[in-house]
Chains A and B, each alone.
Chain A
Amino acid sequence: MSDNFSFRLWRYEGEPGELIPLLQSAQNHFGYIPRRAIRYISGVSGIPESDIYGVITFYSQFRLRPTGRLLIRACDGTACHVTGSKLIIETIEDELGISVGDTTEDGLFTLNTVACIGCCSLAPVIMVNEETHGNLSPVSLRKLLRKIKRREERTEITASSHSQ
């Protein structure tokens, strides 16, 4: 998809302070911030590449490497922590065979932790892309992950049979 992407789609209006929105649109498009996006932004905004890199690495939202198709954000906020988020994170690591920050070999899941997603009354909570799942236990979480995996495999099969 990146080949037919026009950088002009980013609404760079030449005003100061647009760097973070620019990086956010780059990440929305590519799923991460590739080197050529940094080079491009530097070109149009006049901000040195090194400064842009400094901003990217300061904020936890930005990634310099691609993620899996599904980004799991396991909440480790206070409410989730006291209701067992440590076990939840360990369960995901065990079920998917990856550590926090890693992507599964099939490129399906990336696991990250997040400080709080504001659904504290449903703790412990995880987000899978934009979907929130609450009141999890190691048991229900394993079921959920397997369900998502099956769903994704099904859509993949349907997608490939359509394209044939």
Chain B
Amino acid sequence: MKKIVVGMGTCGLSAGAQGVYDKLRDLAAGATGACELTISGCIGMCYSEPTVEIRDNGSRVFYGNVTPQRAEKIFRSHAEGDELLAEDEIIYLEKANGTVGGTEAAFMAQQQRVVLRNCGTINPESIEDYENAGGYRGLRKALLEMTSEGIIQEMKDSGLRGRGGAGFPTGLKWSFTAGNEADRKYVVCNADEGDPGAFMDRSVLEGDPHSVIEGMIICGRAIGSDFGYIYCRAEYPLAIHRLNLAIDAAREKGYLGKNILESGFNFDLKIRQGAGAFVCGEETALFASIEGKRGMPRIRPPFPAEKGLWQKPTNNNNVETFANVAWIIDRGAAAYASFGTEKSRGTKVFALAGKISRGGLVEVPMGTSISDLVLDIGGGIKKGGKFKAVQMGGPSGGCIPAALGDTPVDFENIPATGAIMGSGGMVVLDESSCMVEMARFFLEFTQSESCGKCTFCRIGTLRMLEILERITNGEGQPDDIDKLAVLGAQIKEASLCGLGQTAPNPVLTTLRYYRDEYRAHIEDKTCPAGVCSSLVDFHIDPEKCTGCGVCAKNCPVQAISGEPKKVYVIDNSICAKCDRCVTSCSFDAVYKR
């Protein structure tokens, strides 16, 4: 029977997937031929959402940017009939014999999907779908055929390193918690995906929640814990909804609860919603938050493996790490270790966003180069722009210039550039991005998210932000660059947790690669990218201006003059650079240079 699958992740839904689904549901209800309508998480091609897939006898055909009208066309000709739509309308095609095609085939070509194995393929709200795709087979093996030591050894052999950013070997981490005796131990899943620009965890939780749950149960078995928490951002309501459904279904089927699969092992789970604090991505702050306190980090040691949540031995991994576990146990460590580089085994999920043509989610073997990710898979820059840099690791990371595009993405080579692997967010920047402004943006973020415990993080970041603000306002002073470098080094040295230790990274990496841009702002009072409002002039494009006069009405300093139905003009000697003309124009006619 043919299956029609609508991608219903947050990305699909915000692009209008619900309307497409409703249309298809009405059509399917009235149709004579039997076909089944179902949903899936995001396949990764977020830039083509909403997507509709027709599955038939082992072949998969994807259509992108589907509207309810196009959904009807697809339904009539392809789902009900047997006629594929025109070739250029198919974004991805996988025939039963393994051949692939479609306009977006390059996006999928280099991918190796372990974590995303089920995302976009199964219905995340159906535990049967997960089981049919091999789900809970790893758990069965772990509980019935393996010892705790055996599981930990397998994890060590796989070479899996923590995917939250720090890259600590997962098997080793588990062995620490396993080695500490206590009346209670905890498994914690960090789903507080706080790095702006990263959405891997959201997509996994929305598209394949059982894979995370299964990984956590296996971890519980390995370290001797019978209870786990998933700490998930409140900004991810759909992920929380699907996790709740998945936990209930797993309990019903006996994968959670007492005496799981008759093995004598007990394990249960609870979701805790974050309340909006970036610092809670740091594990000791996260524990404080679960305990109901202000999420402030504490000194380590003692490490969580010894004293974590409620002073009990605790193992904390992130979503993506857990999503790898069941696959590794099921297929074996060697299969996993065959991907990637010598020191960074396996695959990594990246969230491509920013000025990139194909923004979405991809999973590639470790060691794939930045250029391959941005140019080949991501299709380069939108609207034919020029690739300038990629920002990795969010506010803790740094900007890597396009000239270093050959850098393999792994735990050795990325830190060497001054950036960090981070959780996998890659925000691509083009020539229209000002690097000083980017640094200011990240500092503003970390400054407001600093919990305030350490002086250098609390006040040092504020001083750095003030300096960056005056530079972008055209009031930079000659010694500002040196001050930033000194302050940055001190904050890294004197902060307790990862937030402060990495907060200066965006500034330090842009100082390293884009010092000229800082100089241009400070010495020449210009912004080469034309971003910093105080340093650019505002103009009206005569081709686009309709002479409606709205900009002139909105200008607070009467800098815009003109007559109705004729092109208006901005007098930059009066202009207050407030952007009101830009935001009020209905024709995109105001530009900055």
Known: A116-B196, A138-B585. A121 touches B352 (CB 8 A): yes
Docked complex: B273-292 residues within 8 A CB-CB of A:
273-278, 289-292
Cα A118 to Cα B554 with chains together (Å): 33
Pull 21 A–B residue pairs with CB atoms less than 8 Å apart, ordered by A.
Answer: A16-B292, A58-B294, A58-B451, A60-B277, A61-B234, A78-B354, A78-B441, A82-B355, A87-B583, A91-B584, A94-B583, A115-B445, A116-B199, A116-B235, A118-B198, A118-B199, A122-B359, A123-B354, A123-B359, A139-B587, A142-B586
Q: Is B582 an interface residue (CB 8 A)?
A: yes
Pairwise interchain contact A78-B197, C-beta atoms closer than 8 A: yes
Pairwise interchain contact B237-A62, C-beta atoms closer than 8 A: no
Number of residues on chain B facing chain A (CB within 8 A):
64
Residues of B within 8 A of A19 (CB): 292-293
Q: Is A14 an interface residue (CB 8 A)?
A: no
- List 18 extra interface pairs beyond A59-B295, A117-B235, A138-B585, CB under 8 A: A16-B292, A20-B275, A24-B273, A58-B277, A58-B451, A77-B197, A82-B427, A83-B355, A90-B583, A119-B14, A120-B196, A120-B197, A120-B354, A120-B425, A121-B199, A121-B359, A122-B14, A134-B15
Cα A83 to Cα B13 with chains together (Å): 21
Pairwise interchain contact A120-B14, C-beta atoms closer than 8 A: no
Q: Is B303 an interface residue (CB 8 A)?
A: no
Pairwise interchain contact B197-A20, C-beta atoms closer than 8 A: no
Q: Which 9 A-B pairs have the closest CB atoms?
A: A77-B196, A121-B359, A120-B353, A19-B292, A132-B14, A121-B46, A59-B275, A116-B196, A78-B197
Pairwise interchain contact B353-A24, C-beta atoms closer than 8 A: no
Residues of A within 8 A of B235 (CB): 114, 116-118
Q: Mark B430-454, 1 if CB is under 8 A from A, else 0.
A: 0001000010011001000101000
Q: Is A69 an interface residue (CB 8 A)?
A: no
Q: Is B391 an interface residue (CB 8 A)?
A: yes
- A18, A121, A125 interface centre (most CB from chain B within 10 Å): A121
Pairwise interchain contact A119-B10, C-beta atoms closer than 8 A: yes
Q: Is B310 an interface residue (CB 8 A)?
A: yes
Cα A76 to Cα B333 with chains together (Å): 40
Residues of B within 8 A of A34 (CB): none
Q: Name the residue of chain B whose CB is nearest to the CB of A134.
A: B14
Pairwise interchain contact A17-B292, C-beta atoms closer than 8 A: yes
Docked complex: B414-469 residues within 8 A CB-CB of A:
425, 427, 429, 433, 438, 441-442, 445, 449, 451
Known: A20-B272, A20-B289, A24-B273. A78 touches B391 (CB 8 A): yes
- B47, B353, B449 interface centre (most CB from chain A within 10 Å): B353
Pairwise interchain contact A18-B353, C-beta atoms closer than 8 A: no
CB distance from B273 to the nearest CB of A (A): 6
Q: Name the residue of chain B whose CB is nearest to the CB of A27.
A: B275
Interface size class of A (residues with CB under 8 A): 35 or more
Q: Mark A43-87, 1 if CB is under 8 A from B, else 0.
A: 000010000001100111110000000000000111111110011
Q: Mark B579-593, 1 if CB is under 8 A from A, else 0.
A: 110111111100000
Q: Is B193 an interface residue (CB 8 A)?
A: yes
Residues of A within 8 A of B46 (CB): 119, 121-122
CB distance from A79 to the nearest CB of B (A): 4
- B274, B290, B292, B433 interface centre (most CB from chain A within 10 Å): B292
CB distance from B280 to the nearest CB of A (A): 9
Pairwise interchain contact A116-B360, C-beta atoms closer than 8 A: no
Residues of B within 8 A of A62 (CB): 275-276
Q: Is B92 an interface residue (CB 8 A)?
A: no
Pairwise interchain contact A115-B427, C-beta atoms closer than 8 A: no
Q: Name the residue of chain A whose CB is nearest to the CB of B277.
A: A59
Known: A24-B275, A117-B235. A81 touches B441 (CB 8 A): yes
Cα A122 to Cα B49 with chains together (Å): 9
CB distance from B187 to the nearest CB of A (A): 16
Name the contact of B351 in the complex, choosing from A23, A59, A80, A120 (C-beta under 8 A).
A120
Residues of A participating in the B interface, judged by any CB pair closer than 8 Å: 16-21, 23-24, 47, 54-55, 58-62, 76-83, 86-87, 90-91, 94, 114-123, 125, 130-134, 137-139, 142
Residues of B within 8 A of A119 (CB): 10-11, 14, 46, 199
Pairwise interchain contact A115-B585, C-beta atoms closer than 8 A: no
Cα A79 to Cα B197 with chains together (Å): 5
Name the contact of A79 in the complex, choosing from B275, B277, B278, B354 (C-beta under 8 A).
B354
Residues of A within 8 A of B587 (CB): 139
Cα A62 to Cα B277 with chains together (Å): 11
Residues of A within 8 A of B442 (CB): 78
CB distance from B465 to the nearest CB of A (A): 15
Q: Is B62 an interface residue (CB 8 A)?
A: no
CB distance from A152 to the nearest CB of B (A): 20
Pairwise interchain contact A61-B360, C-beta atoms closer than 8 A: no
Residues of A within 8 A of B438 (CB): 82
Pairwise interchain contact A118-B583, C-beta atoms closer than 8 A: no
CB distance from A67 to the nearest CB of B (A): 14
Known: A17-B291, A78-B196, A132-B14. A118 touches B236 (CB 8 A): yes
- A76, A79, A134 interface centre (most CB from chain B within 10 Å): A79
Residues of A within 8 A of B340 (CB): none
Name the contact of B353 in the complex, choosing from A76, A121, A137 (C-beta under 8 A).
A121
Cα A127 to Cα B285 with chains together (Å): 27
Residues of B within 8 A of A142 (CB): 586
Q: Is B210 an interface residue (CB 8 A)?
A: no
CB distance from B283 to the nearest CB of A (A): 16
Cα A47 to Cα B292 with chains together (Å): 10
Cα A139 to Cα B449 with chains together (Å): 32
Cα A130 to Cα B354 with chains together (Å): 23
Pairwise interchain contact B427-A121, C-beta atoms closer than 8 A: no
Cα A3 to Cα B290 with chains together (Å): 31
Cα A142 to Cα B586 with chains together (Å): 9
Residues of B within 8 A of A60 (CB): 275-277
Residues of B within 8 A of A139 (CB): 585-588
Cα A91 to Cα B550 with chains together (Å): 14
Pairwise interchain contact A121-B47, C-beta atoms closer than 8 A: yes
Pairwise interchain contact A82-B429, C-beta atoms closer than 8 A: yes
Q: Mark B163-202, 1 if CB is under 8 A from A, else 0.
A: 0000000000000000000000000000001111111001
Pairwise interchain contact A79-B588, C-beta atoms closer than 8 A: no
CB distance from A91 to the nearest CB of B (A): 4
CB distance from B423 to the nearest CB of A (A): 12
Cα A131 to Cα B199 with chains together (Å): 17
Name the contact of A54 in the complex, choosing from B294, B441, B588 (C-beta under 8 A).
B294
Pairwise interchain contact A116-B292, C-beta atoms closer than 8 A: no
Q: Name the residue of chain A whose CB is nearest to the CB of B278.
A: A115
Residues of A within 8 A of B196 (CB): 76-81, 115-116, 120
Q: Name the residue of chain A whose CB is nearest to the CB of B441.
A: A81
Q: Is B394 an interface residue (CB 8 A)?
A: yes
